Amino acid sequence: MKSYNEIDIEETPIIILGCGHFFTAETLDSHMGMGDIYIIDGYGEFTELRDTAQLVCSIPCCLDC
């Protein structure tokens, strides 16, 4: 949890949601369960899709709304 002025957007991009709240890309990746959908290598890069047949369909929403 960092304040906005502590974030280097060149290193850690932020995403502004339609509601006006903003989060780092890593925070949203985690919140949206990207690791449940993609296989992530040792460098934190998404490499391929997992078998998505087991996933429950849900729509993520803003962490603050």
- What global pTM score does this model have? 0.56
Q: Please give the structure tokens belonging to residue 13.
A: 């991009």
What pLDDT was estimated at residue 23?
85
Report d(CA 4, CA 46) in Å as an integer. Answer: 26
The position carrying tokens 């932020």 is 14
pLDDT digits 0-9 by tens, 15-58: 888 888 888 877 877 777 666 777 878 887 778 777 766 665 56
pLDDT digits 0-9 by tens, 47-60: 877 776 666 556 66
Q: Is 61 within the bounds of a domain?
A: no
Q: Is 63 within the bounds of a domain?
A: no
Q: Is 39 within the bounds of a domain?
A: yes
Parent domain of 31: 4-54
Rounded-to-5 percentages of helix, strand, coil across the chain: 25, 20, 55
Count, residues in the chain: 65
Q: Is 64 within the bounds of a domain?
A: no
Strand, coil or helix: 14: strand
Domains held by the chain: number: 1
Pick 7 or 35 by higher pLDDT.
7
Q: Is 62 within the bounds of a domain?
A: no
